[in-house]
Chains A and B, each alone.
Chain A
Amino acid sequence: MKFETDALEGDVQRIALEGRLDIDGSQAIDARFSFLTTGRKANIVVDLTGVSFLASIGIRLLMTAARGQKGRGGHLVLAAAQPPVLKVMQTAGIDQLIPVYPDVESARAAIAGT
């Protein structure tokens, strides 16, 4: 499990995750991901294109990050989840709590400049 970050137009930060968000994967990125997503106010798109698997511990990671960023007054949204990952998010109901976009561009446009 690894991730990369880059800056998108409109002061939006993209965090692209890659790998399996299972127990090992979540633990591997937990500290760095939490720091990046909740350390300061920001508009963040978590790009899930490279995530092939999501378990409940991964859901917890995403929810903690989204809640932390909301507390800072910023935004954290999810984008480009593969169908199996999207199905897990929908089953757990987190698509009702964290905005989910079909691709990175629509996610960026939704939170840019806010």
Chain B
Amino acid sequence: MPEPAKHHLLTLESGLAAAGEASIWARTLAAQHGVPDERTGNLDLCIIELINNVVDYAYGGGPGEIELELMFTPEALVLTIADSGPAFNPLELAAPVQATSLDDARIGGFGIHLVRQFADACHYERRLGKNFFTAGFGDVRELPRRVERRRAGPAGFPLRRADGTLIVADQRCDIDRRSLGFISRCDLFRDVPYAALEAIVRHCRLVEYPTGAVVLRADQPMNSVLVVVKGSLRVHLDGPDSEDAVDIPAGQCVGELSVADGKTASAWVVTAEATQLLVIEGPVFLERLLAIPRIGRNLIVMLAERMRRGNERIVARIRGAMELEALQRELDFARRIQASMLPANPLLPGQDAVECHGFMRAARQVGGDFYDVLP
């Protein structure tokens, strides 16, 4: 079983000290996780340059919050920095032109260039009114797919492959059919015409997760609905390691509440085994999927079932609490009975010559010891 990624979060106030604080935070965590010196140096440089950029440009020296996330896996580490400044994609900046002499060199503008060179992968995304910049270090192919890689909109053709060749038109077919065969059987899509689904699956992604991967984290923005295609998910309300969990089997989905009300996720979702998920982006879900009449009804049925299961759990928990309370009342009663059986003062009535005192205290409610005084 692969070791799950370890996440660390930090929120900083924008200002002159922010980059220094973030640097110390990142270096301390990197040392704790045994990250090699060279990689720590690269992370340190990128974090300072990125924070500096946010302080100077996103917030223009004014107040603002900078959210940082560092994720460690055995092969890689991933830094994400979020700010609420105006939309700005640093990756669209042209690389600086190499000056030929000191006199015509631009002094500055190296920050993002350095980040692009020293990080092994970079990604920018505008989401929920924030800029998210992600930088990966190490074997980033092995990154858990929680890193946002999706595009802002549908892909426009022609697309250019990494090797330079062009993709002229959408050629996806097999994976669509496979997932379509499955999703027509899942609760959300029950009795929905095949043709209506086909148009939607084209806008969705299939994503694979290993066992124990954190798919969703409480209080994180969530802008897509995840349908379990293969495997299963486990929903933890308290934290990713808590015992108290609800299973989401294949055919069920998560994230529809967050997409519906635009609020952050309310629980942690972890894969219980190797799992394949169909990712339906929020806009696709709200505008295209909910436009299909049958989907709305299926969703209500699913939510009703979930609510009913939730109620049953609440009732079971209350019943358990009531039973415990009753047990405690009985124990308390037993304690008072035991105490009343002990001789009370005066211990030897009528015999003023002998003075006698007794005291007993049970370690818990009821004890096994006893005493008496015989004249």
Note whether A and B form a binding pair: yes
A residues whose Cβ falls under 8 Å from a Cβ of B: 22-24, 27, 53, 55-57, 59-60, 63-64, 66-67, 70, 84, 88, 91-94, 96-98
In angstroms, how far is the closest chain A Cβ from the Cβ of B371?
72
Q: In the bound complex, what is the Cα–Cα distance between A66 and B101 (angstroms)?
A: 11
Interface residue stretch chosen among B44-52, B144-152, B308-316 = B44-52
Could you say which of B52, B96, B103, B111 contacts A67, with CB atoms under 8 Å apart? B103
Could you list some 13 contacts between A and B, CB below 8 A?
A: A23-B52, A53-B45, A55-B52, A56-B110, A56-B114, A67-B107, A70-B103, A92-B110, A92-B114, A93-B99, A96-B98, A97-B99, A97-B105
Instruction: Assess the B107–A22 pair: CB atoms within 8 A.
Output: no
Interface of B is mostly: helix
Instruction: Assess the B16–A66 pair: CB atoms within 8 A.
Output: no
Instruction: Assess the A55–B102 pair: CB atoms within 8 A.
Output: no
CB contacts (< 8 Å) of B41 on chain A: these are 53, 84
Instruction: Assess the A63–B48 pair: CB atoms within 8 A.
Output: no
In angstroms, how far is the closest chain A Cβ from the Cβ of B247?
48
- Convert B100-118 into 0s and 1s, putting 1 for each residue whose CB lies closer than 8 angstroms to a CB of A: 1111010110110110011
Instruction: Assess the B99–A55 pair: CB atoms within 8 A.
Output: no
B355 touches A (CB below 8 Å): no
In angstroms, how far is the closest chain B Cβ from the Cβ of A55?
5
CB contacts (< 8 Å) of B110 on chain A: these are 56, 59-60, 92
CB contacts (< 8 Å) of A27 on chain B: these are 16
CB contacts (< 8 Å) of A93 on chain B: these are 96, 98-99
Cβ-closest 4 pairs across A and B = A56-B110, A92-B110, A56-B111, A91-B117
Instruction: Assess the B102–A24 pair: CB atoms within 8 A.
Output: no
Instruction: Assess the A56–B49 pair: CB atoms within 8 A.
Output: yes
Q: In the bound complex, what is the Cα–Cα distance between A44 and B251 (angstroms)?
A: 71
Could you say which of B20, B98, B103, B111 contacts A24, with CB atoms under 8 Å apart? B20
CB contacts (< 8 Å) of B222 on chain A: these are none
Given known contacts A55-B48, A64-B107, is B20 in contact with A23 (CB within 8 Å)? yes
In angstroms, how far is the closest chain A Cβ from the Cβ of B122?
14
Q: In the bound complex, what is the Cα–Cα distance between A55 and B117 (angstroms)?
A: 13
Given known contacts A55-B45, A97-B99, is B107 in contact with A91 (CB within 8 Å)? no
In angstroms, how far is the closest chain A Cβ from the Cβ of B285?
42
B131 touches A (CB below 8 Å): no
